[in-house]
């Protein structure tokens, strides 16, 4: 905010106020000019880095690709060890949740089932995957029983807590036991509720938020299938 001085009531006589204004104004211009130059330099640096300039110095280069998905090793509901590489060549619908989930998880998996049914034969190359964030309770037999409630191709994946953490980090999924976990066996889990649609090479294509209608899921999947 600028402070303006005037001649009114100035003890120093005529002209002194003008000189003070002039001096202050000049200093202000210098400060503004310096600040503007710094701002321009910062903006220029940001533009250079965001357009790949950092790559010239060996730094990370932005590709515009979402960093979602990656390697994992888990156990499916039939007891077989599977990795992300086992699904290459197929599209995936990946959802993280847990079998004790009272409503969100079963509703989302039901939406997946209905969307794939709407797609009919066009969905033959899509594998729905349900990865638990509660491996302590979601053993292989529990996952097998749960998977039967949904699409026939549903693959339920579990593993050790550390294996599950690897998968959640790859998909940027948050999960945490509820506050009652230490005293209540029927504890709930806090977790990200997003449905990821992945390409044949494990690349992220899009995602669906909780509550997206099955017909909308099917419609958006079709756009990626071509």
Cβ-based neighbours of 137, under 8 Å, separated by 6 or more: 98, 99, 100
| Distance, CA of 158 to CA of 164 (rounded, Å) | 7
One-character DSSP codes across 54-71: GGGGT-----S-------
Instruction: Give residue 53's pLDDT.
Output: 44
**For range 71-83, the mean pLDDT:** 98
Instruction: Give residue 23's pLDDT.
Output: 46
| Distance, CA of 69 to CA of 51 (rounded, Å) | 24
DSSP classification of residue 202 = S
Encode pLDDT of 99-133 as tens digits: 999 999 999 999 999 999 999 999 999 999 999 99
Instruction: Give residue 19's pLDDT.
Output: 41
Q: Where does the pLDDT of residue 65 fall: very low under 50, low under 70, confident under 90, or very high at 90 and above? A: low
Encode pLDDT of 139-186 as tens digits: 999 999 999 999 999 999 999 999 999 999 999 999 999 877 666 788
Can you give the residue ranges of every domain in the chain?
1-61, 73-225
CB 119 within 8 A of CB 85: no
The domain 73-225 having CATH identifier 3.40.30.10: the answer here is yes
| Distance, CA of 123 to CA of 153 (rounded, Å) | 10
């Amino acid at each position: 905010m600028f402070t303006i001085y005037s001649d009114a009531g100035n003890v120093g006589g005529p002209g002194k106020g003008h000189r003070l204004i002039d001096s202050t104004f000049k200093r202000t211009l210098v400060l503004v000019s310096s600040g503007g130059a710094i701002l321009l330099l910062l903006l220029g640096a940001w533009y250079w880095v965001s357009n790949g300039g950092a790559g010239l110095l060996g730094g990370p280069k932005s590709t515009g690709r979402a960093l979602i998905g990656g390697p994992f090793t888990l156990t499916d509901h039939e007891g077989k060890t599977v990795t992300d590489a086992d699904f290459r060549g197929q599209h995936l619908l990946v959802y993280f949740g847990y079998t004790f989930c009272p409503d969100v998880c079963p509703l989302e998996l039901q939406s997946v089932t209905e969307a794939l049914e709407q797609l009919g034969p066009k969905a033959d190359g899509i594998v729905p995957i349900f990865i638990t964030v509660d491996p302590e309770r979601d053993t292989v037999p529990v996952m097998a029983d749960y998977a039967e409630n949904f699409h026939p191709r549903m693959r339920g994946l579990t593993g050790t807590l550390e294996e599950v953490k690897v998968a959640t980090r790859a998909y940027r999924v948050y999960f945490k036991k509820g506050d009652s976990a230490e005293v209540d066996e029927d504890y709930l889990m806090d977790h990200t509720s997003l449905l990821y649609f992945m390409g044949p090479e494990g690349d992220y294509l899009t995602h669906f938020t909780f509550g997206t209608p099955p017909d909308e899921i099917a419609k958006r999947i079709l756009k990626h299938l071509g």
